[in-house]
Chain A
Amino acid sequence: MPDSPEKTIDLAKPPKDKKTKEAPKEVKGIPSATVPKKTTKEVDEAISSLTESDAKKILEESNDSQNEEVAPATGIETVIAPETKGLFASLKEKSKNFLQTMYEKIKNTEIVQNITDRYQVWNNKRLKERTDKKINDLKLETSTEEAKITESTQSAEEAKNEADKAKMAIEAAGLTLSPQDEAQQREEIAQYENDAEASREKILTNEMEANRTETISKEFETKIKEARSRLDGRLEAKMNSNNELLESYKISQEFYVEKIGMCKNLIEEQNGNIEKLIASLAAIKKSEASKKLLEKNIVKCKERIQRLKYTLSEYEKYNNEVTSKADKLNRANADLQNKRDKIIGVEKIKWEKPGTKPVASKILDGGEIRLDYGGAKTIQFQGDIFTITDSAGKAEEIPLDKAKDALIKQFQGLSADELRKGGVSEKFIARIQALEKATNPEATKEKSFKAKDVLAQWNEHVGSKSPFSHFAIESGEDPDQNLADPEGARKFIENKIKAGAPESIKKFGGIPKLILNQVDAFVKKLQQ
């Protein structure tokens, strides 16, 4: 009997080794715009502390402090996969508790119900609300910093005026301001200016962080949609598999029903024979031999009826068995459909499975490409957007930036020349070529200042927690653009920063010094 409807899910067997492998921890002291409460001084120090020995020291300190504050949460660890436990362990306590309360609701281990419950976690509005709150907090903090800038700038101005007045008064009295006093005044003014600069850095960092958070949030939403489509596809596959077995059961049922009918007819026939034999027997007056012959046949018929009844009962038994299995499978399919409706709702979209290949492809005018999968299923690419349409005409749009390699692979086989002639965007061609290069690593070995390589190195340089680490090749940019040298790379990165926080840059008339320091460190690294 198929076991699928009752199949249970076991994603997270408790690991044999209780020590969980921890993901990289947030490092105390490392300059990170995601740690908003750092003072300028701390950040500055951290920038200059990026030597190996200092970083090691900071890491040790960080580990010590984390060991003290992190108490392992329970519950969620029993429902998430072992490889995610390390990541979970690296979360802040507040985040752990937040996830814990959502994952607590996953209790049913039956696979279909389990994924339905899980989907409710991934798609929980509280995740979005949490992100929105973070963005709002950053904006509030920005307002505070803006007030600080005004205050610091005014203070600097006042201090400057007061220093001038004091100097004039002293000179009027025929005295001279000592170099020490003058230096002290300059230091005071510089302190106010530094405070204003730190606030500017903070505002820009906040804007970057808010934008990064927004991007991450959107990416996560896309992931949920993709997971939803993939799960729907798998549930559909389960139903199809059930239907295949139902077909087999149907053949069995038809066979048994036919045999049951035949048995019943034969029993009826034998009963009719007996009636005829008895009637003949009653008509015989003299022939004992005939009587015996008829009686003997009556016995034979009765015996066949018994045996036929047994055969009938056997056929009925197996027919009932297979009918019961079919009923159970039909109920499972109804449940699956119900769960699919619950997960997918009215937005049901079919994705083509990775590895699926189109039956036809065509490059149309205006840079449009159309892949045909038969049955009205198509993938269309135009204006850097993929439109995936299922056989029911429902469509899903995926921007090129969000498209996974599996989707891009569907277009492999179309030559770059062919695509260029059709006016297909260079960005798309670059994605295809990048995929081809990935399968041919020799091409990536040489050191270069290609835009995409510089970006990758920059993102690695600042670390994944940094709001500056999510720079990507934008629409209209050539990922293979040769930036020539580290200075070209500097300009490229600075432009990315400017584009990432345009409001702050406009407000401050440029990139704050503290961020430029990071760019300098990166350029130096490139020069080595």
Chain B
Amino acid sequence: MKAPNIKKLIQQVQASITKSDKMIKESKPLIEKMNKETAVAEKEHTQKQQSIDQDIIKITQDMDKATVQYVKDTE
């Protein structure tokens, strides 16, 4: 292989290594960012679900009361 080809190959390899380094380096902060965003979405989701669950509990409590009242009223 001629010298200029080696030089060109090395340049290509260096460029490829730089690209890999960038990929490796940015992975951690990107994963952290993504985890953070997911955690925020999950927190919001949990809060919404809890709020809905409270509504459900209220509905069931009202209905249980209505059922007992119904039985009492029709004794």
Q: Which residues of A are interface residues toward B (Cβ below 8 A)?
A: 1-4, 7, 9, 11, 23, 34, 79-81, 83-84, 87-88, 90-92, 95, 98-99, 111, 114-115, 118, 121-122, 127, 130-131, 134, 213, 216-217, 220, 223-224, 227, 230-231, 234-235, 237-238, 241-242, 244-245, 248-249, 251-252, 255-256, 259, 262-263, 266, 269-270, 273, 276-277, 279-280, 283-284, 287, 290, 293-294, 297, 300-301, 304, 307-308, 311, 314-315, 318, 322, 464-465
Contact = CB atoms under 8 A, between A and B. Distances in A.
Interface in B6-51: 6, 9-10, 12-14, 16-17, 19-21, 23-24, 27-28, 30-31, 34-35, 37-38, 41-42, 44-46, 48-50
7 contacts: A115-B56, A227-B59, A234-B52, A249-B38, A255-B34, A270-B17, A277-B13
B10 to A, nearest CB: 6
B71 A127 contact: yes
A217 B64 CA distance: 15
Contact of A241 (B34, B45, B72): B45
Interface in B56-75: 56-57, 59-75
B56 A231 contact: yes
Contact of A122 (B41, B67, B75): B67
A266 B23 contact: yes
A234 B60 CA distance: 12
Interface of B: 1, 3, 5-6, 9-10, 12-14, 16-17, 19-21, 23-24, 27-28, 30-31, 34-35, 37-38, 41-42, 44-46, 48-50, 52-53, 55-57, 59-75
A90 B69 CA distance: 10
A121 B64 CA distance: 9
Contacts of A79: 64
Contacts of B1: 279-280, 283-284
Given A84-B61, A227-B63, A234-B52, A91 B9 contact: no
